[in-house]
A and B are shown apart, each in its own frame.
Chain A
Amino acid sequence: MNISSEQIIDKSSKWVVSFFVASAGLWLLAAAFLAYIAAAKLTDPFFLSSFEFFTYGKVKIAQANSFVYGWGGNSIFAISIWILARLSQCEVRGRFMLLVAGVLWNLGITFGLLGILDGHMNSHEMLEMPSEVWPLLFISYSIITCLIIVMHRSRKIHETIAPQWFILASILWFPALFIIAWNGLEINPVNGTVQSVLSMWFGQNLIWLWLTPFALGVAYYMIPAITGKAIDKYYLAIFGFWCIAALAPWSVVHHLEGGPVPMWIPAIGTVMSIAMIFPIAVASTNFHATAFQDIGKVWNNLPLRFIIFGTLSYTISSYIGVIFSLPAVAKLTQFSIINEFHFNQRVYGFFSMIVFGVVYHMLPKITGKEIGKSAKSFHFWTSAFGVLILLLSYLIGGLTHGVLAQQPSLDWASSVISSIKPYFLITEFAFIILGFSQLVFVINIWKVLVPNPFEDSSKNKNLASKASTT
């Protein structure tokens, strides 16, 4: 591939990628704002309590949806279009349709989140947005997926490599999961706790089969691209990929341990969670054996530093997750705020950190403008610090919560919950740091995407992304 053809490809993806990155940034800010409100309400229940719009339950769920579908969805679109275009050596086609679908996707999420806050929430995990917006989201997602597949099919090199498997699998799994869950919960609803199994299966798989493989695929692409070294023990990657494909959809139901479902369901979940050690070890070996051949580069190259932070976080927390799926430990922790640890390490410590890294690597290439070094660095350190504090407080707080909850003699509110209040205070602090950090990130990227930030930053994102392309 010569340099000029790479530039042509980047140029072809500029409008679309800019739009998705800019939208993703706004959703990230929305999620940060909601996360702060939710955390503040846990430390002071009277905070904003007279507004029904900001009831804790609604804010918390709106935050998760904004994070996963708004920030996660948009960055998946942006980055998969860019990486797959590069790997296919094809220009991005159907750009107008991609933009239209992108606008629909963001409109759908906007209405969905307002619906949640306005009291039209659904009860199913990660399907809480009102039923009305899902057809819209599904159609826009399908359009984007089809155009990405078309682009991939017209690739110049027949052989596919690890990043392509992971990213394509991730974008194909989401609609499959969605159809299964939507059919089982809305069209042809199942009865009783089958609903709970299905809803948990979907909610957890969304993390395991959508966000996780995508971020792994991105790391498989970025680490060699930045270090200039081939992935170490690359022959293991295919094994890791099929392990995730085969095991992850089984492993996610171990959270039902002891619950009102037949015992084989959590039991299979536990066994498969333990088997997940293999794909975790493969990905970890591939990434770290490659990157740590040149530690100086990891330290000095900011996008790579973000990505290695993400992969390390993936490795460590996935192993912790395996330990927490063992029945002896699970009965301590299964209903505690450890669940927040799992969610945040997955979508923040792993997925988001990798996305930050790619965005910092990708934006200068497609726009031709550099992002300020100290601003990026500030973003990295505040993010890393915030995530560490957040995860540690959820981890230690969750263990405390779980252990105390298993003492039937302790009063619930005055002993169990009171002793985890300090951890809620720490998470509130962590969300403030993360909020600042994310604000810096969004300013960083918008400065590159939008010619004059002072003129455009207050306008709506559609105008802004059009402006960015002129």
Chain B
Amino acid sequence: MNNIFKFALGIFSTLAFAWLAFVVGARVQFGDLKPTSSFHEDNGSIPLNADVFPQEFSGIAQQGAREYVSLGCTTCHTQQVRLVDSGFDVERGWGKRPSVARDYVMQNEVNIGNTRVGPDLANIGMREYSDEWLHQHLFEPQSLVQESICPPSPFLFDVKKTSGEGRISVKSNDVIRFISPSIRANRLVAYLQALKQDYELPEMAFVEDDETDEESEQLVVSIPDANSTQLPSWLAEQISSGKEIYSKVGPGGGGCITCHQPTGLGQPGVFPPLADSDWVLGNKERIIKISMYGLMGEIEVNGVKYNGAMVPPGMPMGSLSDQQIADVLTYIRNEWGNSASSISTDEVANVRSTIKDRGVMQMWTAAELNSVK
């Protein structure tokens, strides 16, 4: 105690023990967690093409994280759903499952926070608030939640008296104002929308089976078996092989199901339906071409416009063989009430030979396809 160097050695070594545990030990134990998938092959490896979680934030959301820190949001908001034994966070609807260390590995700044004067934000992006709602809330929380004590941030917005392009109306005390969000407000909202732990991890499953999950499982199961027995065996084989390609997300599959849905109905505005579609049931050449190179931009199906992008199907992209294309197209032409002629491997091979000079990632546009004939 009397020699300052021995004394310093003593007090630093007591500190070093804790440092070894909380810094070195923690780093070794969970400092290099990587995103992973909850689906595993039998041998424990992750399927090559499976989506891994957590995913990286978009650039604008990462900038939003800076805004979140610089405005001191962490002072009142946590971003962690506690274990079921430790609190009622899941019951409160703040998440489908407790947060785990892996949820944060893709974030540069981890803001798990330690005080909840405001609600937890770990899953704010999952609670289906619109961007507009979040902007209104940032501008003046009290206009939406009367009792809120969250400070308004009018400095992130331009306030206008009239409505206009990109302006959002805020109504408080019977006064309607129109605000146009600054780039900072947009970043912040992008960040908030990106905060969601809506995936399962090997170490943590959802606490209760969520309704939407059950639905989608049922949908997968409910793909009706093609009426194989009544068909000639070669056609039945083509259809069942096509169904497999349609549904399989991974090597050897087309992954069509992720966008066009098990129901073949697609998604309004983005992914056109295949059921009762004038494109699917019409000219074979167009859909063969799409199956090789994908499609980009606006397309009108059954008189309704869709605007999205379809990458060349297959894994890796554009890798479906002539046989596979023939099978999957035959399947979609004879599923969900569709009934049209089958497509043979030769037909596909013919089309491929006419467009063999096309670049690998050169997606079609609808106009281009329609102008050929």
Contacts and interface: CB of A to CB of B under 8 A. Distances in A.
Contacts of B76: 56-57
A462 interface: no
A58 B71 contact: yes
A55 B72 contact: yes
B14 A335 contact: no
B7 interface: yes
Nearest to A159: B2
Interface in A408-450: 408, 412-414, 417-418, 421, 424
B48 interface: no
Contact of B72 (A57, A149, A168): A57
B104 interface: yes
Given A121-B70, A165-B1, A260 B153 contact: no
A76 interface: no
A364 interface: no
A293 interface: no
A146 to B, nearest CB: 11
A405 B115 CA distance: 12
Contacts of B92: 408, 412
B15 interface: yes
A260 B80 contact: yes
Given A45-B142, A57-B76, A260-B80, A250 B31 contact: no
Contact of A190 (B27, B93, B154): B27
A396 B80 CA distance: 25
Given A168-B7, A337-B115, A56 B151 contact: yes
10 contacts: A45-B141, A60-B75, A242-B14, A250-B18, A260-B100, A331-B86, A337-B115, A337-B117, A413-B147, A417-B147
A180 B151 contact: no
A408 B102 contact: no
A165 B7 contact: yes
Interface size on B, as a range, is 35 or more
Q: Looking at chain A, what size class is its interface with the partner chain? A: 35 or more
A327 interface: yes
Given A121-B69, A193-B112, A50 B149 contact: no
Nearest to B79: A260
A262 B102 CA distance: 11
Contacts of A59: 72
A245 B153 CA distance: 44
Interface in B143-165: 145-155
Interface string A226-259: 0000000000001000100110011001010111
A49 B70 CA distance: 16
Contacts, number: 221
Interface string B205-244: 0000000000000000000000000000000000000000
- 4 closest Cβ pairs, A-B complex: A57-B72, A258-B86, A249-B18, A258-B82
Nearest to A411: B147
A250 B21 contact: yes
Contacts of B15: 173, 176-177, 209, 245, 249
A104 interface: no
A469 B80 CA distance: 53
Interface of A: 41-43, 45-46, 49-52, 55-61, 119-123, 125, 149, 152-153, 158-160, 165, 168-169, 172-173, 176-177, 180, 184, 190-198, 200-201, 209, 238, 242, 245-246, 249-250, 253, 255, 257-262, 265, 268, 327, 330-331, 334-337, 339-340, 405-408, 412-414, 417-418, 421, 424
A196 B112 contact: yes
Contacts of A168: 4, 7
Contacts of A120: 70
Nearest to B67: A119
A160 B2 contact: yes
A249 to B, nearest CB: 4
Interface of B, secondary structure class, is loop
A168 B7 CA distance: 9
B85 to A, nearest CB: 7
Contacts of A246: 14, 17
A160 B1 contact: yes
Contacts of B11: 169, 172-173, 245
Interface in B46-101: 69-76, 78, 80, 82-83, 85-88, 91-93, 98-101
B129 interface: no
B83 A198 contact: no
A201 B82 CA distance: 19
A465 B110 CA distance: 42
A412 B109 contact: no
Contacts of A195: 109-110
B82 A262 contact: no
Nearest to A268: B21
Most chain B CB neighbours (cut-off 10 Å) among A192, A405, A412, A421: A192
B99 A259 contact: yes
A193 B110 contact: yes
B27 A194 contact: yes
A149 B4 contact: yes
Contacts of B2: 158-160
Contacts of A250: 17-18, 21
Contacts of A337: 115, 117
Given A41-B151, A192-B107, A261-B30, 15 more contacts: A49-B154, A56-B72, A57-B73, A57-B74, A119-B70, A173-B11, A192-B105, A194-B26, A197-B22, A198-B23, A242-B14, A262-B29, A331-B85, A339-B115, A407-B88
A57 B18 contact: no
Contacts of A327: 86
A418 B113 CA distance: 21
Nearest to B19: A180
A74 B190 CA distance: 42
A49 B75 contact: no
Interface string B165-192: 0000000000000000000000000000
A223 B147 CA distance: 49
Nearest to A332: B87
Contacts of B99: 259-260
Contacts of B110: 123, 192-193, 195-196
B71 A55 contact: yes
Contact of A201 (B22, B93, B102): B22
Given A242-B14, A262-B26, A50 B154 contact: yes
B146 to A, nearest CB: 8
A98 to B, nearest CB: 18
A66 to B, nearest CB: 14
A45 B154 CA distance: 12
B84 to A, nearest CB: 9
